[in-house]
Amino acid sequence: MAQSTTQSPKNKGSKPAKPRPDFPLFPHRNGQWAKKYRGRTYYFGRWDDPAEALRQFYAEWGYIQEHGCRPTPATTPADSTAEGVTVKDVVNKFLNAKTASVSEGSLSPRTLADYKRACDFIVAEFGKTKAVAELGPEDFSRLRARLRRGRALVSLGNWIVQCRMPFTYAVKAGLIDSCPRFGPDFEKPSKKDLRKHKASQRRKNGRKLFEADEVRTLLDNASEPLRTMILIAVNGGLGQSDLGAIRITDIDLKNGWLNFERVKTGIDRRIPLWPETLQAIKTWIAKNPAAKDPEDEGLLFVTKCGKPWTKTNPKTGTPNDSIGAEFLKVMEATGLRRPRRGFYSLRHTFATLAGGSLDQVAVNAIMGHVDNSMAAEYRERIDDQRLRKVVDHVRRSLDL
């Protein structure tokens, strides 16, 4: 295995050109082929042997991306992939583990369904009896081409990550010794490409938010409980899954606060409620139908049939989003429907307007964003006054 301390050639001379345009390594001045990743430089072999450097790169790159460091001899023996392990072995071990995570409550059924679909693509492309040791860059290039059909770049990136996960998990689980050679094509789209794609979509379809007059139009034309849902969403940047999971006990009806854990991230959120939002909630509680299932008792929103407005099928992981469906009807009736806009755009609207409060820390706290900064490690709370300032700024911006 190539080490970052490998000695460079004595007579380096001028840097060589890449053997081909798509060669993933660059010639470092120390005489080795190298790759930068997350601020670190990794070396894979001498200038005079680019083929060996490329082999080392493909053998180690998956591990580096997964663990943030290069593999040790203990994790990457000479035989880099366990013999006889098939694609079926890898996806089964991965899905069995993730199914157990759902049972433990550490993974959502919807995420498990995404993983299953990714594994189906892997099996359909490679075949379940294909030996993992035989997979190479060309195989994953074909898989990428199949994934690209009909998908935007962001979606493609998510699928690529999900298709790599079974292999990286198999390494951690000891089923295989290293990931297959994914190759240079089977990477997430670059940030530059994503920015260009986003700009193109914005020019074509407009921004993924609602202007102040559009929000007021939606509120004027929505019936209950959708109107209350819209108010909560634009008051605190909540999405459909959040709204469907709110319980009446999460709301401080006396002081006007929503204390709620974001469904997606598990981050605690403390959201000041506008007077009109609080009043709408109180009025709706008095009308809220009785829940049909005991486990749904206490939900703030249930349908007239007594079922949750959003729920994921525990077997298939398929989400049922009645909120988005009803919201679509209102957009169509008011002429506000256009591509890339839906109920979740209210969260975009909140984030955009809230940024004008000039307190991004408080904005992130309200939205339930994960903060991995060092400052967040030391921050124990955010003053309520800062949170109120954010939501009050959004309210003024919407002229409610």
- Whether 157 shows a pLDDT value over 60: the answer reads yes
Between CA 230 and CA 224 the distance in angstroms is 10
Q: Which residue has the higher pLDDT, 81 or 140?
A: 140
**What mean pLDDT comes out for the span 210-227?**
97
**pLDDT tens figures, 239-277:** 998 999 999 999 999 999 999 887 766 788 999 999 999
The 10s digit of each residue's pLDDT in 349-389 is 999 999 999 999 999 999 998 788 888 788 888 999 999 99
Mean pLDDT of 146-153: 88
pLDDT band at 334 (very low <50, low <70, confident <90, very high): very high
pLDDT tens column, 167-208 = 999 999 989 988 999 999 899 888 898 888 888 888 888 888
Mean pLDDT across the chain, nearest whole number?
A: 88
- What's the farthest any 2 CA atoms get from each other in the chain? 83
DSSP secondary structure of 372-390: -SHHHHH-----HHHHHHH
Q: Is the pLDDT of residue 221 over 90?
A: yes
CATH of 212-398, one of 3.40.50.300, 3.30.230.10, 1.10.4030.10, 1.10.443.10: 1.10.443.10
DSSP secondary structure of 334-356: HT---TT-STTHHHHHHHHHHGG
pLDDT attached to residue 164: 96
Q: Quote the CA–CA distance of 220 and 336 in Å, as a whole number.
A: 13
Helix or strand holding residue 171 (H, E): helix 153-172
Find the helix or strand (DSSP H, E) in which 41 lies: strand 40-46
The mean per-residue pLDDT over the stretch 303-318 comes to 78
Spatial contact of 136 and 183, defined as CB atoms under 8 Å apart = yes
List the single range of 28-37, 307-316, 372-381 with lowest mean pLDDT.
Answer: 307-316
Residue 3 has pLDDT above 70, yes or no: no
Q: What is the pLDDT of residue 11?
A: 46
Q: What integer is the mean pLDDT of 31-38?
A: 88
Which residues belong to CATH 1.10.443.10 in the chain? 212-398
Give the residue range(s) of CATH 1.10.150 domains in the chain. Answer: 87-202
The answer for residues whose C-beta is within 8 angstroms of residue 183's C-beta and 6 or more apart is 58, 136, 137, 138, 140, 141
Contact 363, 354 (CB under 8 A): yes
| Average pLDDT score over residue span 123-143 | 93
In the chain, the amino acid numbered 36 is K
Which residues share a beta bridge with 86? 131
Confidence tier at 131 by pLDDT (50, 70, 90): very high
Residues in the chain: 400
87-202: CATH topology is DNA polymerase; domain 1 (1.10.150)
The residue assigned the tokens 């307007």 is 353
User: Bigger pLDDT: 326 or 52?
Assistant: 326
End-to-end distance of the chain based on CA atoms, in angstroms? 64
Name the percent of the chain lying above pLDDT 70.
91
